[in-house]
Amino acid sequence: MIITKKTLPRRTFLRGAGAAVALPMLDAMVPALAQSGGANESPHRIGYFYIPMGMDPAAWVPKNTGKLESLTPSLEPLMPFLKNISVLSNLEIRDAHTTGNHASSNCAFLSCVKAKRTEGSDYFLGTTVDQIAAKVIGTETPFPSLELGTDILSQVGNCDNGYACVYQNSLAWSSPTTPLPTESDPRVLFERLFGDGGTPEQRQTELATNASLLDAVMEDMAKYQKQLGTSDKVKIDEYLETVREVERRIHMSQAQSDKTQLPELTRPTSVPEEWEQHVKLMIDLQLLALRSDLTRVVTFQLAREASTRTYPQIGVDEPHHPISHHGNDPVQLAKLAKINKYHVSLFAYMLEGMRAINEGNGSLLDNTTYLMGSGMGNPDVHDHKNLPIVVASGTNSRIHGARHIQYDEEQKPLANLHLTLLDSIGVHLDSFADNDGRVDELFHPA
């Protein structure tokens, strides 16, 4: 058999007018050997999806351990992905502080170490697990990692019992003294991924002079069309339509915001007014980045700790933070469970988006692992035990799904899971933070 080289490089960019759009995985990028059932050419990715302020365990934790055939009310939106998910109970962050718990819940989630208590710029934490992954699997992509969110604290100084606001704003730290900024503006993210970016004034000018990013690259696209087969042309059409749809939604958000008289002139004009639409737009953008191989590591802070956001769309008109201090009141616990279920449904929206993207050897979901969870367990007492943790992974991962792994009351360090997920993507460390082992059960069927 003659093994041909790739017709197109894995990361092929269409360029024009200062813009660059990366193409998704195509048959034309796969060697003949892989097309006939040989090596897996799709990279594996890893992501972290943070939900704030813990959960109601009665509505979250499955009743049985081992193989899962059904899910609890808070996790019910994940039923279509049952074979892809593992629920883990009784994991804890042992080194999180007992004060400043919202700050430490956020910053310890991916570091599993104590944060230095300071209101100044002399903050100190630890390198987070996503950045350890990025230093290995992110070296071949334009962006080693992406740090995304929706709620960012604009104030500086003390935000939680003497802890600097950066601890609540940044999930990812590339070193103990280097928190990575979280991007929450979809327009800025879109231009960072596909355009020139620049100042807000430059971005406004670009909006006025470029009706569509894709119009600038279609001429470059024409030269590749002759090299593509029928199935690849369909993939390209679907991919570009997805980019157009995301771009259309950003322009719509821009137009809506321009018509609204805002009391704060500094509010980003491209953030949708409805939070759910904002979340879904940020999810769609991260999926575009993953399928284009612009990055292989993503952190997404769905909402921030101590958030006072209300959720009238699900019948919860009270702020999240006061509800989380439920005092074991059944009414408040029911509201907390509703919020948990709503947040999980947004994670399910992302999984559905990944499952719909074909990469040749499977879907984007088949080649991706996401950890959804919180750094807080029982929000009423601000503890860091029995954390709400779900791992979603596809068929091309070593991880087996449809299971509930529950440790005894002694609990196990969350660091054990972080180390195991690194193993699953080929990043091997002897230890991480306070780990005392690994979660090897994930690599065996339930």
Question: Phi and psi (nearest 5°) for 385?
Answer: -110, 160
Check residue 249 and give its pLDDT.
57
Helix axis angle, 186-194 relative to 230-259, nearest 10°? 140
Residue predicted with more confidence, 265 or 105: 105
The percent of residues above 70 in pLDDT, for the chain, comes to 74
Helix axis angle, 218-225 relative to 230-259, nearest 10°? 170
pLDDT at 169 over 50: yes
* Residue 117 in tokens: 């208590």
pLDDT at 255 over 60: no
Q: What's the whole-number mean pLDDT along residues 265-285?
A: 77
Check residue 425 and give its pLDDT.
95
**CB 146 within 8 Å of CB 289:** yes
Check residue 1 and give its pLDDT.
28
Q: Options 3.40.720, 3.40.1620, 3.30.160, 3.40.50; which CATH number does 46-184+298-443 get?
A: 3.40.720
Range in 84-93, 244-253, 389-398, 434-443 the model is least confident about = 244-253
Range in 141-150, 228-237, 282-291 the model is least confident about = 228-237
Check residue 359 and give its pLDDT.
87
User: Which residues, in sequence order, are bridge partners of residue 178?
Assistant: 175
| DSSP string covering 117-139 | --SSS-------HHHHHHHHHTT
- Dihedral angle computed from the Cα positions of residues 117, 120, 125 and 126, in that order, rounded to the nearest 10 degrees: -170
Calpha distance 442→425 (Å, rounded): 13
| DSSP string covering 189-228 | HHHHHHS----HHHHHHHHHH-S-TGGGTHHHHHHHHTT-
Question: Phi and psi (nearest 5°) for 164?
Answer: -60, 150
Q: What's the whole-number mean pLDDT along residues 43-63?
A: 96
Check residue 416 and give its pLDDT.
97
Check residue 37 and give its pLDDT.
42
**CB 173 within 8 Å of CB 126:** yes
pLDDT at 199 over 60: no
pLDDT at 5 over 50: no
Side chain identity at 77, as an amino acid letter?
P
Tell me which residue has tokens 């999810």: 283
Domain range annotation of the chain: 1-41+186-270, 46-184+298-443
Check residue 121 and give its pLDDT.
87
Instruction: For residue range 370-395, list pLDDT tens digits in order.
Output: 999 999 999 999 999 999 999 999 99
pLDDT at 27 over 80: no
**CB 88 within 8 Å of CB 439:** yes
Range in 37-46, 127-136, 276-285 the model is least confident about = 37-46
Check residue 270 and give its pLDDT.
65
**CB 59 within 8 Å of CB 51:** no
Q: Say what the pTM is.
A: 0.80
pLDDT at 36 over 50: no
Per the prediction, the chain carries an average pLDDT of 83
pLDDT-based confidence at residue 39 (cuts at 50, 70, 90): very low
Calpha distance 359→70 (Å, rounded): 29
pLDDT at 314 over 70: yes
Q: Where are the alpha helices (DSSP H) in 297-427?
A: 320-324, 330-355, 414-424
Q: What's the whole-number mean pLDDT along residues 101-126?
A: 92
pLDDT at 7 over 90: no
Check residue 69 and give its pLDDT.
95
Calpha distance 356→45 (Å, rounded): 16
Q: What's the whole-number mean pLDDT along residues 242-267?
A: 52
Check residue 129 and give its pLDDT.
98
Tell me which residue has tokens 């958000």: 253
